[in-house]
Amino acid sequence: MQKSLRIDANKCTGCLQCEMACSYENYGVFNIAKSRIKVFIFEHEGRKVPYTCTQCAEAWCLNACPVDAIRVDAATGAKVVNEATCVGCKVCTIACPFGTVNYVADTGKVQKCDLCGGDPACAAACPTGAITYIDADWTGLDKMRAWAGKTDTATRASA
């Protein structure tokens, strides 16, 4: 079963534990400047929204890469940057419609979410369940359940 990151922005408090966990997982330092997941705080609406790569099935970054540095991890479905191959041309950062591939000046390579090989550190670090790692085919399950819960079954109960 393939899994997918699911983000429920309503549960996000904006604490940035996910960003610290991401940077620590990938660089061994707590450094939100190096995080592959970013939390956006919309002050005037009081909204906090974590955002990262959705791992497109047909990945524009992967298709745009001239040196085949972005490959699919068969186990997780993640589109993974091979740093040894990446030449830092940044074409993928232009190709990505969502801005979730970014250049890292320190390394001269690009970085993006790779789902931590199947155990995403951001989801493990999230204190409120705003970020979870769930069955990729059923990311709508919670929403379905919520709507199902509102279904009127009174007629049957009274029958």
Query: Residue with structure tokens 């030449």?
Result: 87
Q: How many residues bind another protein (CB under 8 A)?
A: 27
CB nearer to another protein: give 41 or 67: 41
CB of 41 to another protein, least distance (A): 8
Which residues between 4 and 33 bind another protein (CB under 8 A)?
Answer: 13-17, 20-21, 23-24, 27-33
20: which 2 tokens? 């610290």
103 binds another protein (CB under 8 A): no
111 binds another protein (CB under 8 A): no
Query: Residue with structure tokens 């524009």?
Result: 60
CB nearer to another protein: give 43 or 58: 43
Report the alpha-carbon distance of residue 115 to residue 138 in Å, rounded: 17
11 in Cβ contact with 128 (< 8 Å): yes
48 binds another protein (CB under 8 A): yes
Report the alpha-carbon distance of residue 146 to residue 159 in Å, rounded: 24
Report the alpha-carbon distance of residue 86 to residue 15 in Å, rounded: 32
Q: Which residues bind another protein (CB under 8 A)?
A: 13-17, 20-21, 23-24, 27-34, 41, 43-48, 125, 127-128
